[in-house]
Amino acid sequence: MDHEDTFSFKYIFRSEEETFKFVNCMDTIWKFCGKEVVTAFDLTDFKNVCDVGGCSGAIAKLCISEYPKSKVTIFDLPEAVSMAKAHFVLPTEERISFHKGDFFKDPVPLADLYILARTLNDWKDDECLVILKNIYQSCKPGGAVLITETFLNEDKSGPVQSQLYSLVMQVATVGKQRTLSEHSKLLIMAGFQNIETRKTGKLYDAILARKPIETGPC
C-alpha cells in the first residue's frame, strides 16, 4: 500500500514550536488518563514493550513505573523523537529508548507488547490494518498489542465525548473513533486472537489482543 500523509503531521511538525505544542498536549492527556490504561490489564509478563507513536513518552514512563522489570522503546517519527528526547524524557530514564521510523514504511522494533495509544483514530481502516499487520510481523509469538481509544457504543449512539472526538478526527484527519467490534475486526484481519476489553472508568478504555504461539506439527 502506498501511503500518503493526508493527515496534517507535516503541518504539526512544520516548526519546533508547533511540534512542542502537539507533543506537550499528548503528554498532558496521559498524565491524567494514562495510569488507568497501562493497568487495565496485568502487563507484568511483557518485559520488552514498544510504544508505537509514543510521542512524549508519557505512556512509556508510566509503564516502567508500574512494571519495574519492563523496558520501553518509543517508536515515532524523527520530529517527535527529537522533541521527546529534548524536553520530556530525561537521559537518566535508562529503561526508555527511542527508535525513529514511520510505521507505514519501516519495520517496528521487536517486542513482546506493542502499545497503540490514541493512534489508530488518526487513520482510515485500510491504513490501520497496515499498522497492525506491521506490528504483527515484528511481534513475538505469544506477544500482544494494547490499543487504547475512546470507543463508540456498538450502535454509535454515544458516548457523547466519543462522538465529538470522532467528528474532530473526521475533520482534522482521515480517521475516526470506532466501536470495540470494529477494532476487533481489524485485529483479527491482522492475525491477532484472544481479544479482551477493559473499561477504565476514564475517557480511554483498552483492548488487548495476542499473537498466537507457534506450534509444530503433531
Query: If we measure between CA atoms, which residue out of 87, 111, 88 comes closest to residue 99?
Result: 111
Amino acid at 1: M
What are the residues facing 152 on neighbouring strands?
179
Q: What is the pLDDT of residue 214?
A: 75
- Name the grid cell of 31: 498524565
Arithmetic mean of pLDDT, 50-64? 93
Do the Cβ atoms of 55 and 23 come closer than 8 Å?
yes
Higher pLDDT among residues 167 and 157, named by residue: 157
Q: What is the pLDDT of residue 216?
A: 52
Helix, strand, coil content of the chain in percent (nearest 5): 40, 20, 40
pTM of the model: 0.88
Residue 1's pLDDT band, with cuts at 50, 70 and 90, is very low
Rounded Cα distance between 11 and 192, Å, is 33
Over residues 99-113, the pLDDT tens digits come to 999 999 999 999 999
Residue 9's pLDDT band, with cuts at 50, 70 and 90, is low
Arithmetic mean of pLDDT, 27-40? 86
Do the Cβ atoms of 113 and 45 come closer than 8 Å?
no
Do the Cβ atoms of 10 and 33 come closer than 8 Å?
no
Pairing of strands 139-149, 205-210: antiparallel
